[in-house]
Amino acid sequence: EMQLVESGGGLIQPGGFLRLSCAASGFTVSNNYMSWVRQAPGKGLEWVSIIYFGGSTYYADSVKGRFTISRDNSKNTLYLQMDSLRAEDTAMYYCARGSFKSGLLDVWGQGTTVTVSS
Amino acid sequence: QSVLTQPPSASGTPGQRVSISCSGSSSNIGSYTVNWYQHLPGTAPKLLIYTNNQRPSGVPDRFSGSKSGTSASLAISGLQSDDEADYFCAAWDDSLNGVVFGGGTKLTVL
């Protein structure tokens, strides 16, 4: 069974940093297109970042320059390094498996909550 | 402000058919396939329709999708109380080089 499990969320002050992890089982992260998607309280889903199986990375304008997506092939784990956090980054963060140039996200984790507040 | 436009709410009575629209542009829906997700609070979003009109294994055929030009729609027939959820459309966008979502439609079964 394919599964994604996120961890690393928490309460952090504005300007702080956090690293989210997403452990995969049942498939290989490095052979897939992996995304991070978030949902702020009372808002809709927002795509955050993607890493292609070839290693290319792309980001939403709202996080470009502050967030970094990466993976550890030996641990079959996806990461999201979040720096210079802002109140508007407060959200539930999901990792998901996608496809090349597609909005198709077929495996999702349960999410991890990030709260940016003083 | 979401890139894809959906009505914020929709409703119907049990057994009815409801439709949810999703409008985009040439850089997203006009060029790429549309996918639909069902999302219940506190749970992971669930892929409901992919590649415009395909259903993953386990999704009832009460759910169907279609696309025309820069718009798409999700139809749910034989509405059930379990269908109460938020529904999101999504597609790739060339201008943003990423996935774009609709703002979501909250479906209420009256």
C-alpha span between A2 and A89 (Å, rounded)? 28
Q: What is the mean pLDDT of residues A91-95?
A: 97
For residue A96 the two structure tokens come to 């998901």
User: What are the chain A neighbours of B86 within 8 Å (beta carbons)?
Assistant: 44
Residue B41 sits at the chain A interface (C-beta within 8 Å): no
- Average pLDDT of chain A is 96
Task: Give dist(CA B2, CA A74) in Å, integer.
Answer: 37
Query: Residue B26: is it exposed, middle or buried by C-beta count within 10 angstroms (0-12/13-18/19+)?
Result: exposed
Residue A47 to residue B56, Cβ atoms within 8 A:
no
Mutate to test the interface with B, among A36, A37, A45, A58 (most CBs of B within 10 A): A45
**Mean pLDDT, residues A55-68 taken together:** 96
Q: How confident is the model at residue B41 (pLDDT cuts 50, 70, 90)?
A: confident
| pLDDT of B42 higher than 90 | no
Q: Is the pLDDT of residue B5 over 90?
A: yes
Query: What pLDDT is attached to residue A12?
Result: 97
Contact B33/A47, CB-based, under 8 Å? no
Region B56-66: mean pLDDT is: 96
The distance in angstroms from the start CA to the end CA of chain A is 40
- The 3-state secondary structure of A44-89, one letter per residue: CEEEEEEECCCCCEEECCCCCCCEEEEEECCCCEEEEEECCCCHHH
What tokens does B30 get?
A: 């006009």
DSSP letters for chain B:
--SBB--SEEEE-TT--EEEEEE--TTTTTTS--EEEEE-TTS--EEEEBTTTB--TT--TTEEEEEETTEEEEEE-S--GGG-EEEEEEEEETTTTEEEEB--EEEEE-
Measure the CA–CA gap between A61 and B93, rounded to whole angstroms: 13
Give tens-digit pLDDT for B73-87: 999 999 999 999 999
**A103 contacts B92? CB cut-off 8 A:** yes
CA distances from A84 to A20, A45, A65, A89 (A): 14, 21, 9, 10
